[in-house]
Structures are given as C-alpha cells and as structure tokens.
Structure 1
Amino acid sequence: MERFKKGETFRFGIVTAGAALIFAFVVLQEAVVVQSKSPYSWAKFDKFDEITQRMDAVNAENCASKSKEELHLPETTVGQVPQFNRLLSTVIYPNRTNLLHLHNMALNRAFFYSYVFQKLNETHHFKYQPGLMYYYFSAAADVSANEYNINGSGIFFEFNKTYPNWYRNIAINHTMLLFGPRAFRFDDYNEPTNFLREPTNQTIDVVDYGAGPQNNYTRDTYKLNEWYFKWMPDGWGKKGLDSIKKHNYNVGIKYSNETGKFTTDEFEGKTFYGPPFPGQNQQNQKQVFQPVDFTRPYFDCGRSNKWIVSASAPIVDHLPRYLEWFHLRRHWITAASVQDIDFLSVDFNPCPAGIGNPKSYLTDISRCKKSTMCEPLYGWGFRRGGYQCVCLPGYRYPPWQRGPFQGSQIESATEEEYERGFECLPVGLKQVIPIIRGNGTLGIGRSKRSVQKKQSKIEKREAKGPVIDKEKVEKRSIKALDGQSKILTKQQRFLRSVDLKELQYSYNKAQEMIESSQRRKRKVFVARYKRSTNAKSRSKRATFDKKAHERMQDLLRKKESVTRDNCHEKSMDDLELPGDVAYGVQKQFSNQARTALRLSHFLSNFLQNIDMYEEYGNLRGDKLLNIELLFGEALANVMGDLKLHGSGIFFDRDKYVGPDGKTRQLFGPYAWRHTKRGDDADQANKNYRALDKAGLDEAYLEERWFREVKERWQSNTYGLTKYTEKPMIRSDINGTSSKKFELYPLYYRAPEEDDGWWSPPYFSCGGEKEDSLGHVNDWVVTYSVPFFGKNSIGTALEFKGVVTVDVKLETLDLNQCPAEFYIANAFKNTARCHYESTYVSICYYPFLWSMTPSCSPSF
C-alpha cells in the first residue's frame, strides 16, 4: 500500500512537471511571437526583394549548375533603355547616361569593324587587317577608359566566319571555326603586387571565348549568349529583311602623302554596309529594328562573376572574301560587338509609372505618401532609397523639415517614424489678431528686442499684447470713432501726468511702462570730415545680377553674329568666346571625352607593346598601324555618337611610322559629320567626310588644342596611370585550350580623363564651300587628350600626339542658377526668380537665345 502511494506520488510529480514544462513552452512561444514583430516589419516584401533574392541565390561556386532562367533576371528590370530613333527627340536624363554611353560604344565598335572589313577587302590588303593583338588591345581600351561605365567588351564572330592573318599555317582564304576576344575588369585585390589589398580597377583580363572546353558560344546550351542570337546566324535574306537589318553609309576621304598637299582635290567615296539605321521620325517601336539591342541582366559565370547587362550591335562583312566572281558575294552579319555594364551600377526608377517613366519591373516600389510626389535620384544604382518625396501642390513641408523627404531615410525608418512623419501639411490661411490703434489698423509683427537696448520697464503680468513695429507695417486709414478718440485722449493725459511716453505691448510678457527720463540716449559721434549725404544701408544681395545678365546678352549676340557665310571675314577674337561660357562641359560631355580617351588608351597600349619585328613561331606579330585603321577609328567615333561632330588623331612631328617602316612628318586623320547647306539640323545623317590634315596649308601643330596638351606632356610624363593586361590566347588553331600569351602580363601607361584639356568655345570656320576641309562651320568646344609610345630606342615613354573630339556648343546646357563668386560661369545669377518665394527648379537649358528658367514656389 505504501509502495502504491509512493508510485502514485511519483507519477503525479511527473505529470505536474510535464504540465509546467508545457506551460512554460507555450508562454515562451507567445513571447517570441510578440517579440517577432519588428519595428521594420511595416516594409512589405516587394519586387526589389524578389530581384535581390534571385541575385543572392547565384554565386561563382554554384552558377555552373544553375539553369538558364536562374542566371537571368526579367527583361524589364532595366527600364528606359536608349533607342536610336528617339535620341534626338527625347531628353536623356542623368540616370540613363551610362546606358547611353554603353549604347554608343557598342555602335562605335560595330561601325569600325564593318568599315575596315569592307575597306580592306582585297587580296593585297589581307596583311593590313587587324591582327590578334589589335582585337585584344581594342577590347582592353574599352574597359580601361570607362572605369565606371563599361565592365566588359568583346567581339564574337559567327561560326566559320573569321579570317585570321596572324597564323602562318592558315591560307588567305581559310577561316577559323570560332573566335571571340573579350576583355573584362579583374578584381586584383589579392594580387601579389597589390600591397594595399584594395581593388585598383586597373587590371584587365582578355580571353578568347572560342578556346577551351565548352567554348561553342553559338549553341543554345551556352546559356549566356543572348547577344549572339540577337543578330546571328544571318538568315534575314530568306525572310525579306536583309535591306532593313543592314544599312549603307557614305564616306568620302581625302588622303595626303606629303605635308601641305593632298593626293587629289576630290574626296574618294566609299560605301559600306553597317548596323540598321532607323529614322528619327519612326516612333513606332514595333516596326523599327534598332542598331543596338540590350540583353536581360545575367550572371557572367566563370568570368567576371558579376550580374551584368550587355549591349550588342551587328558587324557586317562582304563574304565570301577574295572571290573573283564579285556577283556571288553578299553582305553578311559576321560578328557582334558586345559591351557590358555592371548591373549594380545601373539606376532604376522606383517612382510610379507616368510621362517620362514607362512601366518596368521595378516601377512603383517607392514609399512616398499621398501628400507627396516621387522623384528619382541619380547615381544610386541598384539600391533602395534612390528617390525623394516632394510636396504636391497645395501642401507644404513641416517647419522642422528642410527640403524633400529623402528615400534613404524613409526606407530605414521604423513603423512609428513612418506613420508619424514624412507627410506634407495642407497649405492654409494664417490667423492673426487685429490690433486697432489710433486711426489705423496695424498688422502683427513679432521682432526680437535688441540686446543693446537697455531700458527700465515696469512689468505687469496681467496684460499681454504683441509688439508692433510701426516701420515694417502698412497703415490703412479707417473711419475714426468718437468713443475711441475720447479714450485715447484720456490715456494721453494720464501718461503726461506720470511723465511716461507710451505703453509698450509684449507678445509673451506683461504690459510695460517705460520712463522716458531713464532712457539712455544714443551717443552721437561727430565726423572729422564731411561725409557723403548718400548714405547706404546694408541689405541682402539679390540673386539676380543685372551686370551678369547684360554680359550674357552680349555673349549671345556675339555668338549669333557669326555664321558660316561671314566667319572668314571675322578676326580671331570674334571667333572665340570666353572660357566661362563653357561652364559644365566637363560633366555634361564626360561620355564624349571618354570616347577620345578610349582611343588614346588603345594607341598608347599599341605603341608601347607592339614591335613590328617580333614573331612567335607559328604566331605572327602585329603590323604597325596603317592609315586605313586610323581613319576607321576616327570615323567610328563620329558615327557612334550623335553628339560628336568631329574627331581626329594627330601625331606629333616625325612620330608616325607606317607598316612599311617609313616615317611621316605629319599625319592627322580627321573625320566629321557632313551636312549640306540647309541640312544643319540633320544630326543623324549617313554622310561622313574624312581627310588627312597634314595636307592643309597650315600645320595643325599650332592649333591651341594641340599646343596646350603638348606643352604639358612633352618633357614630363609623370602622372600617367599604369594598367595591367593579362591576355590569354588559344593553344592551337582549333582552340583546344587557352594559354598565356608570350608576353604575360603586359603593361602600359595612359592618361585619365582629367589629364585632357577642354578648349574655350570657338567657331570652326570652313567658309562658304560645301567641302569645308575639316571644319564644322559652327561653334564648338574641343576635348584633346594625349597618347604615348616608346621612343626610337625603346628606353622611355614620349609624347606621340593627341586625340580630339568636337562637340557643338548649342548642345551644352546653360546654368543660370545662383552660384558663389568663385564659380567660373558666365550665366550664373541671371535667373529672374524671386528668392524669397520661389526657387529655380530648372537651371539647365540648351545654348539658345531665349532662355526662361522655371521658377517654382518654395514652401
């Protein structure tokens, strides 16, 4: 019996302990549930989080096992991609300039190779076509010169369409199966020579995609070759689209084989086929074939291991080459020029869809409240908070808020902060208490008492009233009342009886009586000399400067007074404008400057690493640069960017050596967009001209854009940036595997964008002739950047010449906003906006005669 009781007690104890444990577990679960509600749980899961999850799920270790869809993001993730037929009719905002430069660079390379392949298409031209290192160095220059724009660059040939001239055992009319040189920026933080262990963005890997295992990028199983199937294989002839997908361009070139003289007086014409050319008036996108196509964002597996976006353009060749029966040849799309950009550096528009913001995958993920309006910000990339919330009309900011609500603060706010803040207040009428004194009705004005004013006062806490400043208010006469006049008369009598002057009202204190006898009198200083009677008082300077406005009008009149018909009659002073007229050119035309910088990097790399006498067994070394390649580079700069109206390569005296080993005294190929009279507005025409400026009567060595750069870099090359290039070539003709190039790695020194020089605005005068011999016949600004090579004995670097680009002045936006005195802007402080009630919301306008800045109300 006792045993039973003990067991029962023991069982009861177990049951009690178990119940207590279950109860504690339930309480703990409730506590966890209660505490699991984070103060940031108000931010719901949206499409940005979806894209982030898909990106985090792929990395360098598992990307090879992922499917094709897992390696790609939705097509509309990148919105507002540039379209060629809309470039002149739409405004390109700063958040799209990186994509526009990517678009232009892909078009640049496509025009160059299309021109060179068809220009050097004869049998005796085979050895002058681009060699192996020309492809490698060109791709590397695209990456090194565009540090924040372009992450990779390459050219990919169609199957069995490559005619190599760098292998000794391949005949002239034989092809390679695959060839795809691509350069991409390498993360060199772990390099042995990088002591700081920080990425320098100055190391570039160049590989051949046609070599190694699983190298067939023409197959659908390659997963990452959308840029290939956009253009190849070329089967449009069967579909009737051959004339739409390929377009013809006209080029006229005037050569010179000696200084001061051209070989012929006429331009030698050349028509070649290139990428599509939709008209600027074709706005129906469904029926237009764009020359540049953008891919979906994808993970660059096994190479840069980053999420990138590619822009591709077609390259056209006349095939089959070197065939005697010319009628059997036709124009084929043989390759694609591909430019890549880091997806994380591409801005997106998180605001709701509307005019100027078409619907995309990330549209309307901002968290602006109903009383505010969303505005995207530039330079945020793929991050939250790239927007700001401004008040809608009829609303104003709270007194404690200075400026718009920033998206970064909204995204990081707690639930309580978001519910109670980031809201604009309705604009209403301000109520005041009217005070009637004497025969006038005065408004209420509150002012702070001066600390220098010491007066004896008798305080009365019972009465309160506002301080009235008689000098700052406007009196309005009203009809006097008899009763009130009598009261004021009694008040005046009382004040005189007690020797008081007046009753003063305070906003937050009692009514005070001030004794006039104790008022401290102001000291009066007697001037030693007689002062001017025109006394001046200090006041806040107005933002509108009348003198600056008059100077602006004079500059605009001077600009309009010079035309192509009378420019040859003007003096040199009349053909130049002050340097501060071109304020903002470094920022607005940075992409155009980087186009010249890309060519400078290529020339510096080529001239420092190519020796015409080097041979590598079965692999031939590259020939020196011939004139057709340099003319093609200058033409490609102009044809690929609608803002550029001229570009040139100008060698210093006795610095150009051709593939035949002969040295020219001067060589300066210059290309420009040719427009006939009356067609100046047609910026997207298909006619181009080029000439060697060495044939002109006056040498280009005395031009300011050449002289200024040469004086800086002729005797001192200190300050150039050192770049490292790691080329990997195929081990054999069939591309069985990849191996290091004989010279691995390669080094070269080249300038940066800031090492170039922007000229003041000047009129490039060519006169009344149709062929203006290298002159744009308009106001332009020129950017020139140097390039360098080894001296004659190969022991040191020396200045070789400059690369220039010309941009019309009318495409420069003027800034009329208020600015500090040290800002060199000829148009600052010319906006007629009232600074107390408005602000200049649109400060930039094209260089036009009539400029009216937008003045928006300030709250």
Structure 2
Amino acid sequence: MCLRVTFPFFTLTCLLVAAAILGNHSVTAQFEWQSRDEFDALKYQMDSVTADNCPIKNVNELHMPEDAVSHLPDIKDININPVFPNRTALLHLHNMALNRAFFWSYILQARFIRPATNDTYDPGMMYYFLSTVADVSSNPRLNSSAVYFSPNMSYTSSYRSFFNKTLPLFAPRTFRADDYNDPIHLERYSTLNMFDVRDLGAISKNSKSENYTTDYYRINKWYQAWLPDQVDGRQDTKTTYQVKIRYANNTNETFTFHGPPGADEVPGPLKWTQPYFDCGRSNKWVVGAVVPIADIFPRHTGFRHIEYPTYTAAAVMEMDFERIDINQCPKGQGNDGPNRFSNTDRCKETTECEPIHGYGFRRGGYQCRCKPGHRLPNTVRRPYLGEIVERATSEQHHENFHCEKIGWIQKQPVQWGKMTPLLRLQYLERNSNYMNSTQGPNSTHTKAKNIDHIISFIRSVNEHNCNNRNLFSPDDLVLHGDIGFGAEQQFENEARMALRLANFLSAFLQVVDSTEVFSGNRLADRPLTEDQLMAETLALVLGNTKIWAAGTFWERRKFPNRTLFAPYAYKEQLNTRKFKLEDLARLNSTDDLYLKKPWYQHLKSRWSTNFDDLEKYFLKMRIRSEEYADHTQKYEHFPISYKAADLRHGYWTRPYFDCNGFVKKWVATYAAPFFGWDSLRTKLEFKGVVTVTMDLQTLDINQCPGKYHTPNAFKETNKCDLKTSYCVPILGRGFDTGGYKCECKQGYEYPFEDAITYFDGQLVESEFLNLVANQATRYDMYKCRLASASTNGSTWVMIFVFAVITNMVTLWFTH
C-alpha cells in the first residue's frame, strides 16, 4: 500500500517503517525461511568491525571464538591421517612458522659452532626484514610474517659500538599491501606484489598502546602464547636438536642447539591464535600460527652456568580468515572437534552432508549426498551442490534436493567362487594389459602399462640392490615423468618452501649492498655467511616433515670467498631430532659435482640471459631512525624492488631412486633458481638453485579418467564398471592402487545393504587381482544396479500389467 502513496511524506514514512521492521527482524540469511545460525552471528561480528571503529571497539569484539576455525593442522597427526584439501594453506602456514623458528633458534646460537667467526655476528636488520618479505612473497595465501622479540632480548650487528647490547623492542613485520591505487602501478589493478615492511618495536617508551608486549595492545594473543618465557627450576627445559655437520674440507662437527618443543611434547611446537581483527595494521580478520624461538641468554657473561636456554622471541605467520573454508556438516567421524559452524548445512533428511573445498568463509561449501539405502532421482546426475541448496527459495527447497528410497536391497554374499572362463576372459580383454604383461624394470617402459607390475617393481628397489647392474640399469632407476603425475599439486607446499629461500636470496643479493654507507651509527648488513645458508637449508628439513632433503647450490665463484658452496641437509628417518648437514662442494669429481646435475644445468641455461619473465616485488620499508629510536623512517631507497622466481619458474625432476645420494628412496625433486646483481651491480645474473626432495611413496595415485593431454601414467587404470559407475579419487591412499571410489551413474543405484553408497577402490582392485589369478572373486558383483521403482507396490503393478499384455498377445496369435 505504501508504494501507491504519491505524497513524498508518506513515501518516506513507509520506507522508514519498513527499514525499522527489517532491522528488528534481524534476518541476515538470504531468505526469511532460513533460520539465523552461528554463521550469521559471526558474519555480523565481522561486518561490524572496520578500520575506522576498531580502536574504540571492546577487545572481545576484536576476537572470534577459537572454534571459528576447525580442523587445524596438528603436527602429531600430519604423518598419520591425510590433510584435507581445504587445510593445505593452513598446513603451509604451520610449516612456515616452524621453518622460521628453527632457523632463528639455530642462527642465534651459531656463535657456539665457530666462536671466532660468529661471536659478534648476528644477522643484520635487513636480514630480518627481507626474511619476512620472502615468507609472504613466496605464497599468495600467506599475508603477513613477523618476528616479535621480548624486551631487551634482541641483538643486532647493524649499529656501531653495539657489542653485547640489546634493543628495547624489535619486531620486523611484513604484510601484503593493496597496490590498486599505488602510483607505481599505472595499470590500476592489484598485483599482490607490494609489501609493507616496518619495525613495530620502534615506539615511544611511554606508549603502552603501541607496545606489543602489554595488554594495552589488545590484539597480541600471539605474543602471550609463548612470551615472556618463565624458566623455573631446571635450566634444561628447552628441547634440543642434533646436527652432524661435514664441511668442504672434510672436517666434522656435531652441533646441538635448543629449539621449539618437539612434536611428541605437549602442547607441541606451535599454537594457533583466535581469529582477530588486525586493527591499525592490515585491518583484516586474520588467523596466526605462533612458534617460539630459543636462544642462550644472557650472552657474554663469562660464566656459562648462568647462561640458560630460554624463549626470546616468537615467529608469527598469518593468513586471511575469509580464505579459510568452514565445515557446515554435522558432527561425526572426521568432524568431531570444536566447530562453531557444525550442523548449519541445509541438507534434507534423506541426504547427508559432505564438505568440499575452495569456498572460504561463505555458505555452500558442501554437497548433499544420498544416505545409504537411498538414491538420486533419475533426473539428477550428481549430488546436490550446497551452494545451490543455500540459494533455493522455501518452495524450491521443499520440492527438491531429496533422495528416493531404494525398495529392493541385496545382502553381501557370504561365499563366492571362481568366475566362469568365458566371463573371466571378457573382463581380461577389457584390461588387456593384464594378459601377457611385462614385469620388472621393463614394466615402466611399455605402452600399455600394468599398474600393479609398476608398483611391484618400484617396491622391489632398495638401497641394498639398487647398485646391482644385473638387476637394474641406471635408466631403470629414473622413471618417466608421467608416473609422478600430481607431484606439482600434492607437493606444492614443499616446493613453495624452496621458493621462499630462493626469493629471500634474490631479495638479499639485490637489495643489500654491504659496501653502502649510512648516516649515523647504522651499518650495512654484511655479506651472507656459510652458517646462515647452512641454517636456512637445514630449516627446510626441520620445518616440513615431507621434505627429506634440501640443498642450496651456488654457481661457481658467486658465494663470498668460496669457489663452490652447496650446503645440503637431510634426515634418515621420518620422526627424528637428529639431522645431517654437508657441504657438497667437497664432492668435486665429474660424476658427483652438482654443477653437472641435469636440474642445475636446465635452470642455468634457462636463466642465463633473459630475466623479463621474473616476478617483480616492491617493498615499502620503514626502519628505526637509530638504535634507540622512538619512531620509524623510510628506508633510504623507498620504495625498493627486486626480481625473483615464481613457482612456475622452477623445475620438477622425473621420479628417480637416489641410489648414490643420501636419501635411499624413490624421490621427486623441485628446484628453484635465485638471482643477484653482477659485480658492477648493473644487471642480474643467475646465482644458484635451491632444491627440496620428497618421498615418492607419499604421492597419491590418480587412476580416474582425465583429459587426453593429461600426462598421467595411471590414467583410466581404475577397475570401476564404467557402464554403471564413474571413478572419484580418494586422498590419503599413497602410492598404491585403489585410491578411488566407484560412484553410481545417473539412473543407477547402489544395490547392497551397506553403510556406504559406493564401491571402495581397494576392494575392487583386490577382487580384480583374484580374477586375474583365477581365484574365488566377487568382482562381477561390484557394479551398480539399474534404478527401479522405489516401492514394492509399483513393481507389482508393472508385473501385473506385463502379464496382462502378454496374455492378450498370446490370445491374439492363438486365435
């Protein structure tokens, strides 16, 4: 009625009344029929906090509940259960925080390795700044990185006459800035390559609200997680890690350093923060991973018994909360932990919820599958997508998105026998690669590959027989690249850790000039040292359990005062605190020299002259004006930029058995190049390569169909009945057959009384091998049934009609 009123006064009044009614109704869902739930409440809290009003908001309004993020990666569970695809970004955040904490713990205690070299040689301030920059630049999902020191516990070599002195506060932090309106980029689009870098410790002594160690800071849960460290009683409370070092001159040394808590300790090495609004900084809702950094403190007392290990700082990595998927499915197996959004899905009674990844903080990140004993209607091809269900109106939701009950359900057979010869031959003809197939090393070279024979060959190779030329030739120990299909996706986190170190080296070699002279007492960072590169390489292995080996290989005469330099770290068992570190420059024979390796020569030839394709990163750095400054100032070169490789610029090796190396396994290696200025600082040049090596046996095989150009050796090797079902990959099965499930196609139904609605790939593969061996099998039963009527009544009607028609036809022909 209000819309028909033509007078402005009444129109305005009606609009105000309507707005008041809607405001009081508090419906934030898309439709009124949808009830308000935890998602709506949390979304309202997020929208109510902005950069303008966050300083006056209550501290509780700046923090979300801890269960707002579920299924957080736990180091105790990583090597046991598979990590969900929607938690790989959080896992990388987890690993990066561990990586930096291990590095800083090692390098801050490195003065005990070679005291004459390292006694007064802590990393300079630019090392800290560029380290945090590389953390963010190497991964688009990671939006900030920082190192927060406790008061008067940070040493620096960046100022004159600063021996054995500490900074009151020191906190280098980098976060990704939005450069949409930045004058540097005339294109006016966000590149994600602009970073704001500043020292959060350069503050006034009387400013409590800017002091990240006080409660007045309000958003410093990451600091309170580990700091200040309270060491009571015993002084050996910090976990130790052992590294056996072998230098280029073949001298050996064992170094034991204190680091974060071990994976087997409680609560473990890492703590997660509540989602919080990063007020006054990036002004976003973020989630942080925090790991403590250990050091021997105090220093240079002359009395070793009063110098004890303690946590002096914390490494903090953060990512946007809105990029983290939520799980709206009800609690159950696999979703039994704290989850604020559980049971907020809108699946109907005949369906069950299954989460899918890639949706972030928004509704619809699930699909509604049919419950056991039910099937999709004949007009529906795939499970109902949650995004469509959430957008449905009340009428649409009431009439659709349901499953039909299966009327006839079979029991699984208790006994079964051999298949008839004719039927067995028909199945073998469909899988001709199981008839007179090649075994042993040659199984990887045939056109029609037998997946079982390939896996059997791979498992037969070990460190004891790999050098037996009567069994294997050198070519047999290097597999075709399509056998390692999926490594680029499944090992992406590990590759990005190598990319992170390559980006840091590129940034340091291009930004830092050790001969530069600054005003006042500030000194330029010294060139990189051997111990720093050894620590960086070792941290790759310490920070990621999937990485078995890592190396930093320098081009000839590109590392200061060394002809060749190649620190290489590795481990010999999965869960360990003992590691080994070698300088491979000592291996100078033609066959062992790393300069002759195919991955090194490939990257060197690719990046010998043209660097136009490299990513360009811009830094807006604000550093402290002096050692005890109460404010920051722009870095002398503002803004400054550097060029570095992206993930696509690296190189993946073919899977190979590392017989003559240090990791006696089938492995895959990723190599990333790094660059720096030439001696005249006029043009870029190739400086070296960073590598990480992963165990091939942890790679999941994909046996499902793919596009014709997909380089997958195991493509279409599943044993699903393709007439009635289709193949869906299952994660976590490793380098073995059966990593899939056979889902029924449209118009077909799962025939058995079971707790699932699909055929498990491992069972299907096992029964198929029984068929090949001509043993008792039930393989021919693993197929979906043509969907029939949902009730017995309909079936009897059809039988009656069929009988009547048959009788009429018979009478017609007899008369």
Regarding TM over 0.5, the answer is yes
Instruction: Note the C-alpha offset of 1:427.
Output: 2.0
Match of 1:80 in 2: 71
Match of 2:568 in 1: 670
Instruction: Note the C-alpha offset of 1:399.
Output: 2.5
Instruction: Note the C-alpha offset of 1:206.
Output: 0.7
Match of 2:597 in 1: 703
Matches within 5 A, 1:366-765: 366-428=345-407, 550-570=449-469, 571-617=473-519, 618-657=521-560, 662=561, 664-675=562-573, 683-696=574-587, 697=589, 698-765=592-659
Q: What is the DSSP-based 3-state SS (H/G/I as helix, E as strand, rest coil) of the residue aligned with 1:567?
A: coil
The CA distance in 2 between the partners of 1:394 and 1:425, in whole Å, is 9
Give the conservation status (yes or no) of the 8 Å contact 2:293–2:311: yes
The CA distance in 1 between the partners of 2:740 and 2:317, in whole Å, is 38
Instruction: Note the C-alpha offset of 1:163.
Output: 1.1
Instruction: Note the C-alpha offset of 1:323.
Output: 2.2
Give the conservation status (yes or no) of the 8 Å contact 1:127–1:165: yes
Q: 1:397-423: CA deviations, max 9, x gaps?
A: 122222111111111111111111111
Q: What is the DSSP-based 3-state SS (H/G/I as helix, E as strand, rest coil) of the residue aligned with 1:85?
A: coil
Amino acid at match of 1:413: A
Give the conservation status (yes or no) of the 8 Å contact 2:31–2:393: yes
Give the conservation status (yes or no) of the 8 Å contact 1:815–1:845: no
The CA distance in 2 between the partners of 1:309 and 1:189, in whole Å, is 24
Instruction: Note the C-alpha offset of 1:86.
Output: 1.7
Instruction: Note the C-alpha offset of 1:359.
Output: 3.4
The CA distance in 2 between the partners of 1:331 and 1:363, in whole Å, is 43
The CA distance in 1 between the partners of 2:158 and 2:570, in whole Å, is 32
Give the conservation status (yes or no) of the 8 Å contact 2:133–2:145: yes
The CA distance in 1 between the partners of 2:396 and 2:180, in whole Å, is 41
Match of 1:168 in 2: 160
Label 1:545 to 1:555 Cα distance change in 2 as closer, same or farther (>3 A).
closer
Give the conservation status (yes or no) of the 8 Å contact 1:293–1:313: yes
The CA distance in 2 between the partners of 1:763 and 1:318, in whole Å, is 41
Match of 2:303 in 1: 325
Give the conservation status (yes or no) of the 8 Å contact 1:638–1:671: yes
Amino acid at match of 1:623: R
Aligned match of 2:123 in 110, 126, 130? 130
Give the conservation status (yes or no) of the 8 Å contact 1:154–1:183: yes
Label 1:852 to 1:334 Cα distance change in 2 as closer, same or farther (>3 A).
closer
The CA distance in 2 between the partners of 1:72 and 1:612, in whole Å, is 43
Q: What is the DSSP-based 3-state SS (H/G/I as helix, E as strand, rest coil) of the residue aligned with 2:691?
A: strand
Aligned match of 1:154 in 103, 125, 146? 146
Instruction: Note the C-alpha offset of 1:119.
Output: 1.3
Give the conservation status (yes or no) of the 8 Å contact 1:545–1:829: no
The CA distance in 1 between the partners of 2:730 and 2:274, in whole Å, is 35
Label 1:555 to 1:746 Cα distance change in 2 as closer, same or farther (>3 A).
same
Higher Cα Rg: structure 1 or 2?
Answer: 1
Q: What is the DSSP-based 3-state SS (H/G/I as helix, E as strand, rest coil) of the residue aligned with 2:352?
A: strand
Match of 2:53 in 1: 62
Q: What is the DSSP-based 3-state SS (H/G/I as helix, E as strand, rest coil) of the residue aligned with 1:289?
A: coil
The CA distance in 1 between the partners of 2:432 and 2:368, in whole Å, is 29
Aligned match of 1:819 in 682, 685, 706? 706
Match of 2:99 in 1: 108
Q: 1:308-357: CA deviations, max 9, x gaps?
A: 00100000001111221111110010000000011111112110111111
Q: 1:236-284: CA deviations, max 9, x gaps?
A: 425x7x656x21100011111xxxxx332xx3100011001132xx7xx
Q: What is the DSSP-based 3-state SS (H/G/I as helix, E as strand, rest coil) of the residue aligned with 2:311?
A: strand
Give the conservation status (yes or no) of the 8 Å contact 1:845–1:851: no
Unaligned runs of 5+ in 1: 1-20, 257-261, 283-287, 431-540, 676-682, 767-773
Amino acid at match of 1:278: A
The CA distance in 2 between the partners of 1:856 and 1:814, in whole Å, is 18
Give the conservation status (yes or no) of the 8 Å contact 2:30–2:391: no
Q: Does residue 837 in structure 1 map to residue 728 in structure 2? A: no
Match of 1:356 in 2: 334
The CA distance in 2 between the partners of 1:65 and 1:39, in whole Å, is 30
Q: What is the DSSP-based 3-state SS (H/G/I as helix, E as strand, rest coil) of the residue aligned with 1:378?
A: coil
Q: What is the DSSP-based 3-state SS (H/G/I as helix, E as strand, rest coil) of the residue aligned with 1:832?
A: coil
The CA distance in 2 between the partners of 1:836 and 1:165, in whole Å, is 71
Give the conservation status (yes or no) of the 8 Å contact 1:228–1:336: yes
Give the conservation status (yes or no) of the 8 Å contact 1:347–1:382: yes
Q: What is the DSSP-based 3-state SS (H/G/I as helix, E as strand, rest coil) of the residue aligned with 1:55?
A: helix
The CA distance in 2 between the partners of 1:70 and 1:39, in whole Å, is 24
Q: Does residue 218 in structure 1 map to residue 208 in structure 2? A: no
Q: 1:214-243: CA deviations, max 9, x gaps?
A: 4311111110111111111111425x7x65
Amino acid at match of 2:282: S
Q: 1:340-389: CA deviations, max 9, x gaps?
A: 01111111211011111123111111111111111111111101111111
Amino acid at match of 1:731: S
Instruction: Note the C-alpha offset of 1:123.
Output: 6.8
Q: What is the DSSP-based 3-state SS (H/G/I as helix, E as strand, rest coil) of the residue aligned with 1:709?
A: helix
The CA distance in 2 between the partners of 1:157 and 1:851, in whole Å, is 49
Q: Does residue 263 in structure 1 map to residue 162 in structure 2? A: no
Q: What is the DSSP-based 3-state SS (H/G/I as helix, E as strand, rest coil) of the residue aligned with 1:829?
A: coil
Q: What is the DSSP-based 3-state SS (H/G/I as helix, E as strand, rest coil) of the residue aligned with 1:814?
A: coil
Give the conservation status (yes or no) of the 8 Å contact 2:239–2:258: yes
Q: Does residue 807 in structure 1 map to residue 720 in structure 2? A: no
Instruction: Note the C-alpha offset of 1:840.
Output: 2.6
Label 1:174 to 1:387 Cα distance change in 2 as closer, same or farther (>3 A).
same
Label 1:832 to 1:190 Cα distance change in 2 as closer, same or farther (>3 A).
same
Label 1:550 to 1:169 Cα distance change in 2 as closer, same or farther (>3 A).
closer
The CA distance in 1 between the partners of 2:431 and 2:191, in whole Å, is 44
Q: What is the DSSP-based 3-state SS (H/G/I as helix, E as strand, rest coil) of the residue aligned with 1:69?
A: helix
The CA distance in 1 between the partners of 2:19 and 2:598, in whole Å, is 77
Match of 1:516 in 2: none
Instruction: Note the C-alpha offset of 1:668.
Output: 0.7
Give the conservation status (yes or no) of the 8 Å contact 1:669–1:690: yes
Q: 1:734-762: CA deviations, max 9, x gaps?
A: 23111111121111001110111110001
Instruction: Note the C-alpha offset of 1:847.
Output: 4.5
Q: 1:29-50: CA deviations, max 9, x gaps?
A: 999999x999921111111011
Give the conservation status (yes or no) of the 8 Å contact 2:82–2:731: no
Q: Does residue 118 in structure 1 map to residue 104 in structure 2? A: no
The CA distance in 2 between the partners of 1:762 and 1:65, in whole Å, is 59
Q: 1:454-486: CA deviations, max 9, x gaps?
A: xxxxxxxxxxxxxxxxxxxxxxxxxxxxxxxxx
Amino acid at match of 2:177: F
The CA distance in 1 between the partners of 2:408 and 2:121, in whole Å, is 79
Alpha-carbon RMSD across the aligned residues, in angstroms, is: 2.5
The CA distance in 2 between the partners of 1:297 and 1:65, in whole Å, is 18
Amino acid at match of 1:754: R
The CA distance in 1 between the partners of 2:431 and 2:370, in whole Å, is 25
The CA distance in 2 between the partners of 1:847 and 1:361, in whole Å, is 32
The CA distance in 1 between the partners of 2:496 and 2:514, in whole Å, is 29
The CA distance in 1 between the partners of 2:278 and 2:333, in whole Å, is 34
Q: Does residue 254 in structure 1 map to residue 246 in structure 2? A: yes
Instruction: Note the C-alpha offset of 1:674.
Output: 3.0
The CA distance in 1 between the partners of 2:460 and 2:313, in whole Å, is 48
Q: 1:838-858: CA deviations, max 9, x gaps?
A: 333444564445546433444
Give the conservation status (yes or no) of the 8 Å contact 2:321–2:361: yes
